[in-house]
Amino acid sequence: MTIILTNDDGIDAEGIWSLQKATELVFGVKGAIAAPSRQYSGCGHQVTTNEPIAIAKRSEDIYAIAGSPADCVRVAIAHLYSDVKLVLSGINHGGNMGVDVYMSGTVAAVREAAFHNIPAIAISHYQDRRKAFDWDWAAHTTAMVIKQLLEIKLPPQSYWNVNLPHIDPKESKETPEIIFCEKSNQPLPLEFKSDGDRVTYTGRYNLRDLSPNTDVDVCFSGKIAVTQMSI
């Protein structure tokens, strides 16, 4: 059984190594890493079809791929491995809730797996920029979530989207509650700063709509938001 790990923050991001630790906690083995050689945050479901994709083998079962997260999954399941049974994407440095899923490379990776009826889970870590990430906590919490989700049979061409809250494990010893919820359908705040003939997006992520019982509301309230998605 081959488990593929990927992300959109790039192969050198801390989150993917935290995800590998979570995989080892759940399965007793490390997953195979097939991740972008650079950051692809916000690339959505971009794929490469009109030029070669370079693959650099860093070590056994660790590949840096010069392509998007969706490219990485396509290459992994069609070229590198023949027995992929699970795709995990993350742990993303920042949330992927609500309409984020349409822009997220993290989520696109597991959507690509779902196209091929391979079970898949995207894991993102909401960031309160006043705090640093605790990747050890994230690994152990992600392992707990993965174990629970693998006990639930997914319908064909479906996948899970998970968002971890940003809490300080030193302040709270209790593991956040897992809440199965709906995806928010409200847009992100639209604000731009002008500078001559250019504009820069300045919308504040933490001021987005908090409709009750949506993934945004759940995650922002300090709980683990889990949403079942389908193609």
* 116-160 per-position pLDDT tens digit: 999 999 999 999 888 899 999 999 999 999 999 999 999 999 999
* Contact criterion met (CB below 8 Å) for 100 and 122: no
* Contact criterion met (CB below 8 Å) for 108 and 195: no
* Contact criterion met (CB below 8 Å) for 208 and 216: yes
Hey, where are the domains in the chain? 2-230
- Check residue 173 and give its pLDDT: 73
Residue 219 neighbours by CB under 8 Å, 6+ apart? 95, 97, 126, 163, 164, 165, 225
- Residues (pLDDT < 50) of the chain are none
- Check residue 171 and give its pLDDT: 72
Angstrom distance (rounded) from CA 50 to CA 134: 40
The DSSP 8-state label assigned to residue 110 in this structure reads H
Angstrom distance (rounded) from CA 195 to CA 192: 10
- Check residue 65 and give its pLDDT: 98
Q: Which fold has domain 2-230?
A: Stationary-phase Survival Protein Sure Homolog; Chain: A, (3.40.1210)
Task: Work out the number of other CB atoms within 10 angstroms of the CB of residue 22.
Answer: 27
- Check residue 195 and give its pLDDT: 95
Token output for 42? 């916000």
- Check residue 14 and give its pLDDT: 97
